[in-house]
A = this chain, B = another copy of it.
Amino acid sequence: MRLPVPLDRAYRLLNHGPTVLIGSAAGGRRNVMAAAWCMPLDFDPPRVLVVIDSATFTRELMEASGEFSISVPTCAQRELTVAVGGDSGREHDKFEALSIATFAGEQVRAPLIDGCVAWLECRVIPEPHNENRHDLFIGEVVAAQADSRVFSSGRWHFDGADAALRTLHHVAGGTFFATGDVVGNDR
C-alpha cells in the first residue's frame, strides 16, 4: 500500500544511495530515465540533487515544466531500469514502448512509476550556474510516498519482505547491487 511520507523524513527514501527513475512531463509529452547520481541535499525543507545530462529529453521536459518525479525501483524492475537508462524518449514514448504503468502525483504532473517502492515529487529550484556548468539540478520535495511493505514509520525495513522489493545500487553497465541486510542497531 502506498502511504504518504512526512516531508521531513523524505530524505530517508534516498539516504542509502539507491539508483532512481526520473519522471518528467511538459506540453503533452512525458519521459522517464534512470539516474544513479541523485541524493539528498537538505532535510527540512527537503531538497535533493540530481545530475541530468544536457542532451537528454528529460532535461528538456524538466526545464519546460520546472518539475520532476523520483521513483525508487526494485530488484524486480532491474530490466526496466536498464531499458529506460539506455534509450532516449525524444523519438518515442518509453511508457508505451516498454509497457510502463504510471500513476499521477499529488503535486506535480511528472508521472510516478508503478511497482517502485518510493516516490518523491519535486519542484526545480532554478540555479542556472549548476544546471549549465554541472548538469546539476536541485529539487525541493513537495510530496513523498512509499510502499508500506518496505518503508513505514520513517524507516526502510526490507528484512522479512520479498527480496524482489529491495532497491538497486548501480555498479556499471546494467549490473546493480541489491540493498543488503541491516548492519547495526537503531540508537
Contact = CB atoms under 8 A, between A and B. Distances in A.
B177 A181 contact: yes
Contact of A15 (B78, B172, B180): B172
Nearest to A172: B12
Name the residue among A154, A155, A175 with the largest chain B CB count within 10 angstroms: A175
A49 B173 CA distance: 22
This chain's copy number in the assembly: 2
Contacts of A171: 12, 15-16, 155-156, 182
A155 B172 CA distance: 8
Given A181-B180, A184-B82, A170 B37 contact: no
Contacts of A39: 17, 37-39, 49
Interface string A156-179: 101000000010111111111111
Given A82-B187, A174-B184, A175-B186, 14 more contacts: A12-B171, A16-B177, A36-B40, A39-B39, A40-B51, A49-B136, A130-B130, A172-B186, A175-B183, A175-B187, A176-B182, A177-B179, A177-B181, A179-B180
Interface of A: 12, 15-19, 36-42, 47, 49, 51, 75, 78-79, 82, 129-130, 134, 136, 138, 154-156, 158, 166, 168-187
